[in-house]
């Protein structure tokens, strides 16, 4: 009976050692994954910081003004160019729509005139002779 108890205790110790080893291995894998994610987060933050610095340099008003003077021929705004809404002329009236369909008129002008007493139908064909 003592041997059986020793066997059970040894089996329990081996099972506990395997369980602890498995937990240790999974925690090492998870720690490695956390370290990789931390490094990736740091890379992304560095990239964001670089892009923000580049954006700040690109939207610098002094740089934009120099580009405008170099590439555009703009003049300063004259205060007399600004008008009040009340002093603007009225909008001209909209032109009247055509009384008939313009496309139908063009098509009617293209079609040959058919006499009123003759029914429109296929034209008679004459047999062709071989030459």
Q: pLDDT, tens digit, for every residue of 64-107?
A: 989 988 988 877 788 888 888 888 888 888 887 666 677 777 77
Q: pLDDT, tens digit, for every residue of 9-22?
A: 999 999 999 999 99
DSSP-derived 3-state class of residue 90: coil
> Is residue 122 predicted with pLDDT exceeding 60?
no
- The pLDDT of residue 79: 84
Q: Identify the residue with better confidence: 81 or 24.
A: 24
Q: CA 24 to CA 30: how far, in whole Å?
A: 10
Q: Identify the residue with better confidence: 82 or 55.
A: 55
Q: pLDDT, tens digit, for every residue of 107-117?
A: 777 866 555 55
- The pLDDT of residue 42: 97
Q: CA 21 to CA 12: how far, in whole Å?
A: 14
- The pLDDT of residue 96: 72
Residues sharing a CB contact under 8 Å with residue 120, sequence separation 6 or more, in sequence order: 114
- The pLDDT of residue 113: 58
Q: CA 48 to CA 56: how far, in whole Å?
A: 12
Residues sharing a CB contact under 8 Å with residue 95, sequence separation 6 or more, in sequence order: none
60, 54 Cβ separation under 8 angstroms: no
């Amino acid at each position: 009976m003592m041997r059986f108890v020793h066997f059970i205790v040894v089996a329990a110790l081996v099972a506990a050692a395997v369980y602890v080893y498995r937990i240790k291995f999974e925690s090492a894998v998870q720690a490695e994954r956390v370290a990789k994610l931390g490094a990736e987060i740091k890379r992304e933050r560095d990239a964001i910081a670089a892009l923000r610095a580049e954006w700040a340099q690109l939207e610098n008003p002094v740089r934009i003004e120099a580009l405008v003077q170099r590439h555009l021929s703009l003049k300063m705004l004259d205060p007399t160019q600004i008008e009040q809404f009340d002093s603007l002329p009225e909008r001209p009236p909209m032109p009247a729509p055509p009384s008939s369909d313009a496309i139908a008129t063009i098509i009617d002008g293209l079609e040959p005139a058919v006499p009123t007493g003759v029914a429109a139908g296929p034209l008679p064909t004459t047999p062709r002779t071989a030459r």
